[in-house]
Amino acid sequence: MKSLFVILLSAILVNNFVLSKFMGICAFLGVSKKLDSAVGMGIAVTFVMICSTAITYPIYLLILVPMGLEYLKTIAFILIIALFVQIVEIVLKKKIPSLYKALGVYLPLITTNCAVLGVAILNINNSYSFVQSVVNALGAGLGFSLALVIFSGVRSRLEAADIPEMFKGVPATLIAASIVSVSFMGFAGMFS
């Protein structure tokens, strides 16, 4: 039980997928302009991470490993991830069209988001159990959402800030992202 808690917290804070492993940066920078869309994107990614982990894990262990087909795990995982992204897209389009519009192209981009595929593959590489994998996916998703929400706050301040002309826009955003990342370095070595 204790180990599950450690996995969860370490995925959220210490090994934050965006700020410590720099995975899934494109959605992180693309959707963090507004708090609403940041929260929506966080939930969508968390959902896709948990569902795809819950399905890819048994597929890998019960089908691919006994058949000796481990080398096919990348394409199998991508297929499953794409399936869930498509489901999220369909549901969002019907239920929350405003969020669907706000996320724009970044929603289908979750398919090739390296954070999502990274969770699925790292679970296998770390030889986690099923429950541990799902908890790790939950932590990764929450960590992604946390990074997105924090950064959307930073960016809204950034927009009002009086910064030198040449830094306005993308350069200032990237510098701010690096500073947020520095703050997460403070968690390093917390649960090891």
Partner 1 sequence: MFQIYVLPMIIFAGIGVFAAILLTVFSKVFEVKTDERIEAVNEALPQVNCGSCGYSGCSDYASAIVNKGEAVNLCRPGGSECSRKISKIMGVTAEDAVPQVAVVLCNGDCNATSNKYVFHGIQSCLAANRFYNGSEDCTHGCLGFGDCAAVCPNDAIIIKDRLARIDKSKCIGCGLCTKACPNHLIVVHDITQRIDVCCSSTEIGKIVKSVCSSGCIGCKICEKKCEYDAIHVIDNLARIDYTKCTSCGKCADACPTKAIRKCDTIYEVKLKKE
List contacts with partner 1 (CB under 8 A): 59, 63-64, 67-69, 72, 75-76, 79-80, 82-83, 86-87, 90-91, 93-95, 97
For partner 1, the closer of residues 75 and 166 by Cβ is 75
- Taking the complex as a whole, the smallest distance from the CB of residue 79 to partner 1 amounts, in Å, to 6
Cα distance between residue 154 and residue 150, in whole Å: 6
> First-to-last CA distance in the chain?
16
Helix runs in the chain, H state only: 2-9, 25-31, 35-58, 65-67, 73-95, 97-103, 106-109, 114-125, 130-160, 170-185
Sign of torsion over alpha carbons 155, 160, 162, 164: positive
- Taking the complex as a whole, the smallest distance from the CB of residue 67 to partner 1 amounts, in Å, to 6
- Taking the complex as a whole, the smallest distance from the CB of residue 98 to partner 1 amounts, in Å, to 13
For partner 1, the closer of residues 87 and 174 by Cβ is 87
For partner 1, the closer of residues 59 and 172 by Cβ is 59
Residues 175, 40, 73, 67: what is their CA dihedral angle, to the nearest 10 degrees? 160
- Taking the complex as a whole, the smallest distance from the CB of residue 53 to partner 1 amounts, in Å, to 16
For partner 1, the closer of residues 14 and 81 by Cβ is 81
- Taking the complex as a whole, the smallest distance from the CB of residue 191 to partner 1 amounts, in Å, to 35
For partner 1, the closer of residues 75 and 179 by Cβ is 75
| CA neighbor of 63 nearest in space, from 50, 83, 82, 79 | 79
